[in-house]
Structure 1
Amino acid sequence: MLVTTGSTVLQAAGILKSFQGVRALDHVSFTLAAGEVHALVGGNGAGKSTLVKLLSGVHQPDGGELRYLGERRRGFASPGEARRAGIATIHQESNLVPLMSVARNLFLGREPRTRFGLIDFARMHARAAEILAAYGMEVDVRRPLGSLGAGAQQMVALARAASADARVVIMDEPTSSLEPAEMDVLFGAIDRLRGEGRSVIYVSHRLEEIYRICDRVTVLRDGKVVHTGPLPGLDRVRLVSLMVGRPYHPRADEPAPEPAGPADVPADLPILEATGLTRRHVLSGVSIAIRQGEVLGLGGLLGAGRSETARAIAGAMPVDAGQVIVAGAPLRKWSIKGAIRAGVGLVPENRTTEGIVPGLSIRDNIALAALPRLSRAGIVSDARVDRVVATFMRRLGIKAVSPRQPVAELSGGNQQKVLLARWLAMNPKILLLDEPTRGVDVAAKGEMQSLIDDLAVDGLAVLLISSDISELVENCDRVVVLHDGAITGELVGPEVTEEGIMAAMAATPQPAP
Structure 2
Amino acid sequence: MGDTILEMKHVTKKFPGVIALNDVSIDVKKGEILGIVGENGAGKSTLMKVLSGSYTNKEYEGEIWVNGEKQSFGSVSDAKKVGIEMVYQEVNAMYEASVAENIFVGNLPGKGWVDYKKLYKDTQDLLDQLGLQISPKTPAGALNSGQLQLMSIVRAMAAHPKIMVLDEPSTALTDSEVDILMNFLENLRKSGVSCIYISHKLEEIFRICDRVTIIRDGNVITSGDISEFNQETLVQGMIGRKVENMYVKSKHEIGEPTLEVKHLSVPHPTIDNRNIVDDISFTVRKGEILGIGGLVGAGRSEALGAIFGELVQGVHKEVKINGKEVTINSPKDAIKAGIGFVTEERKRTGFIQTMNILQNLSLISLYDLPKKYFIDRKVENEKAKAIFDRMRVKAPSMNTMVVNLSGGNQQKVVLGKWLMKNPQILFIDEPTKGIDVGAKAEFYKMMDELANAGVSIVMVSSDMPELISMSDRIIVLSNGKITGEFSHEEAAQASIMKAAIANQ
TM bin, normalised by shorter chain, reads 0.5 to 0.7
- 1:38 deviates by 1.9
- 1:487 deviates by 3.6
Greater Rg, structure 1 or structure 2?
1
- 1:347 deviates by 11
> Aligned match of 1:416 in 384, 390, 400?
384
User: What is the correspondence of 1:220-231 to structure 2 with a 5 Å cutoff?
Assistant: 220-231=215-226
Matched, 1:135 2:130: yes
Which residue identity lines up with residue 55 of structure 1 in the other structure? L
Matched, 1:14 2:5: no
Partner secondary structure for residue 369 of structure 1: helix
Q: State the match for 1:83 in structure 2.
A: 80
Q: State the match for 1:33 in structure 2.
A: 29
Structure 1 residues 29 and 328, CA gap change in structure 2 (3 angstroms): farther
Q: State the match for 2:434 in structure 1.
A: none
Instruction: Deviation per CA, 1:86-136: give whole Å up to 9, x if none.
Output: 01112224334343444444433334446xx65444444433333433333
Which residue identity lines up with residue 107 of structure 2 in the other structure? R
Q: State the match for 2:67 in structure 1.
A: 69
Instruction: Deviation per CA, 1:368-409: give whole Å up to 9, x if none.
Output: 3226xx6xxxxxx739x88xx59x74xx9x6xxxxxxxxxxx
Distance 1:367 1:142 in 2: 46
Instruction: Deviation per CA, 1:327-385: give whole Å up to 9, x if none.
Output: 677876396534543456799999x9559977999xx98983226xx6xxxxxx739x8
User: What is the correspondence of 1:16-165 to structure 2 with a 5 Å cutoff?
Assistant: 16-60=12-56, 61-73=59-71, 75-113=72-110, 119-137=114-132, 140-165=135-160
Q: Confirm or deny: 8 A CA contact 1:9 1:34 kept in the other structure.
A: yes
What is the percentage of aligned positions where both structures have the same residue?
30
Q: Confirm or deny: 8 A CA contact 2:21 2:218 kept in the other structure.
A: yes
Instruction: Deviation per CA, 1:54-82: give whole Å up to 9, x if none.
Output: 11111135212111111123x42111111
Q: Confirm or deny: 8 A CA contact 2:255 2:286 kept in the other structure.
A: no
> Aligned match of 1:217 in 207, 212, 215?
212
Partner secondary structure for residue 110 of structure 1: coil
Partner secondary structure for residue 382 of structure 1: coil
Structure 1 residues 315 and 55, CA gap change in structure 2 (3 angstroms): farther
Q: State the match for 2:408 in structure 1.
A: none
Matched, 1:382 2:369: no
RMSD: 5.7
- 1:167 deviates by 0.4
Structure 1 residues 76 and 488, CA gap change in structure 2 (3 angstroms): farther
Structure 1 residues 289 and 45, CA gap change in structure 2 (3 angstroms): farther
> Aligned match of 1:467 in 419, 435, 439?
439
Matched, 1:206 2:196: no
Q: Confirm or deny: 8 A CA contact 1:41 1:217 kept in the other structure.
A: yes
Q: State the match for 1:503 in structure 2.
A: none
Which residue identity lines up with residue 107 of structure 1 in the other structure? F
Which residue identity lines up with residue 158 of structure 1 in the other structure? I
Distance 2:238 2:257 in 1: 34
Which residue identity lines up with residue 484 of structure 1 in the other structure? D
Q: Confirm or deny: 8 A CA contact 2:163 2:194 kept in the other structure.
A: yes
Q: State the match for 1:369 in structure 2.
A: 367
Which residue identity lines up with residue 218 of structure 1 in the other structure? T
Matched, 1:186 2:177: no
Which residue identity lines up with residue 213 of structure 1 in the other structure? I
Distance 1:77 1:118 in 2: 31
Matched, 1:266 2:238: no
Long gaps (5+) in structure 1: 251-255, 275-286, 297-307, 375-380, 399-413, 421-432, 442-451, 492-507
Structure 1 residues 218 and 358, CA gap change in structure 2 (3 angstroms): closer
Distance 1:192 1:88 in 2: 17
Q: Confirm or deny: 8 A CA contact 2:89 2:168 kept in the other structure.
A: yes
Which residue identity lines up with residue 16 of structure 2 in the other structure? Q
Distance 1:224 1:316 in 2: 45
Q: State the match for 2:502 in structure 1.
A: none
Which residue identity lines up with residue 467 of structure 1 in the other structure? A
> Aligned match of 2:394 in 438, 451, 458?
438
- 1:228 deviates by 2.2
Instruction: Deviation per CA, 1:289-319: give whole Å up to 9, x if none.
Output: 876xx9x9xxxxxxxxxxx9xx99x95988x
Structure 1 residues 265 and 91, CA gap change in structure 2 (3 angstroms): same
- 1:187 deviates by 1.8
- 1:177 deviates by 2.5
User: What is the correspondence of 1:227-266 to structure 2 with a 5 Å cutoff?
Assistant: 227-247=222-242, 265-266=252-253
Partner secondary structure for residue 28 of structure 1: strand
Distance 1:176 1:323 in 2: 33
TM-score by length of 2: 0.60
TM-score by length of 1: 0.60
Instruction: Deviation per CA, 1:182-201: give whole Å up to 9, x if none.
Output: 32222221111111010111
Distance 1:187 1:323 in 2: 43
Q: State the match for 1:253 in structure 2.
A: none
- 1:249 deviates by 7.4
- 1:269 deviates by 5.9
- 1:168 deviates by 0.8
Q: Confirm or deny: 8 A CA contact 2:340 2:425 kept in the other structure.
A: no
Structure 1 residues 271 and 157, CA gap change in structure 2 (3 angstroms): closer
